[in-house]
Every structure is written in C-alpha cells, then in structure tokens.
C-alpha cells in the first residue's frame, strides 16, 4: 500500500512540476528570448533536482531511449507524458531558431507514444500532432 501511495505522489508531483514549468516559461509576461533562455536553464535544474529528470539527456536520446528513460522515472504516467509533449511543443513554438525542430520532433514522438499506449482517440491530441507535423514541414 505504501508503494502505491508513493507512486501516486510521484505522479502528482511530476504533473504539478510540468504545469509549473509551463507557467514559469509562458505565463502572463512578455518573454524576451534571453529571459526564456534563462528561465529554461533554471527549469532544467528544477527538473533534475526535484524529479531526477535530466532534460538534456532526454533531448539527445534516440526515440526508443527517450521513451525508456521516461518510463524509468517513477511518476511519468501517460497523462504526464502528454503534458510534457504539450510543453515541448510550446517551447518549440516560442524558439526562434533551428532548435525548435528538435522540440517538435520530441513532442511528436511523445504524442504518438501516447496514442499507442492508451489506444484511445483524442481529438485534441490529433490536432496537436497535425499542427506539429505542419510546423515541421514548413
């Protein structure tokens, strides 16, 4: 029972962390590129210290390793993976560089993984997939 409570707390902690990151990076203020970059460095440190998630390792890993890495972290359930995909897509949309493609590719990977893992149709998820595919082909 304690193990189940621990996992539920980890799931909630990761979900709250991802939402807080989105709010920090994109909530309510004009983000200049330098501010976004500084905030993002801080966020990566928070992810590593709070949930032991190495963002850089995740980003440079191939598709299979990226998914395995997420699955190895207690608390990364399908909902949290989908929230991470949304965050990655949002970061990609706000970057004005070639790096945005990397974020879109990872977001697309996560959305497709969620489609396979849940075997459920989500109109919102499909819309996000199509939007990212269009952005990648521009």
Per-residue pLDDT of the chain (138 residues; tens, 9 = 90+): 677 677 777 777 777 777 777 776 666 555 444 466 677 788 888 888 888 999 999 999 999 999 999 999 988 899 999 999 999 998 888 877 788 899 999 999 999 999 999 988 899 999 999 999 999 988
| Domains held by the chain: number | 1
Total-model pTM: 0.79
* pLDDT reported for residue 91: 87
Provide CB contacts within 8 A for 77, sequence distance 6+.
11
* pLDDT reported for residue 31: 47
Residue with tokens 């990761």: 14
* pLDDT reported for residue 5: 75
* pLDDT reported for residue 88: 92
Residue with tokens 């989500």: 122
* pLDDT reported for residue 129: 97
* pLDDT reported for residue 70: 94
The two structure tokens encoding residue 117: 């893992």
Q: What is the distance, to the nearest Å, from the Cα of residue 9 to the centroid of all Cα atoms in its chain?
A: 19
Range of the domain at 68: 2-136
Name the region of 75 (left: φ>0; alpha: ψ -120 to 50; beta: rest): left
| Phi, psi angle pair for 97, to nearest 5° | -150, 180
């Amino acid at each position: 029972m304690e193990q189940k409570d621990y996992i539920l707390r980890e799931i909630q902690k990761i979900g709250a962390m991802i939402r807080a990151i989105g709010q920090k990076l994109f909530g309510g203020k004009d983000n200049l590129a330098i501010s976004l970059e500084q905030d993002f460095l801080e966020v990566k440190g928070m992810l590593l210290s709070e949930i032991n998630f190495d963002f850089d390792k995740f980003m440079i890993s191939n598709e299979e390793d990226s998914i395995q890495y997420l699955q190895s972290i207690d608390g990364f359930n399908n909902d949290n993976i989908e929230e991470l995909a949304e965050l990655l897509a949002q970061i990609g949309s706000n970057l004005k560089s070639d790096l945005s493609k990397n974020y879109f590719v990872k977001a697309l990977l996560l959305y497709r993984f969620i489609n396979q893992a849940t075997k459920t149709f989500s109109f919102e998820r499909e819309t996000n997939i199509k939007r990212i595919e269009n952005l990648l082909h521009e």
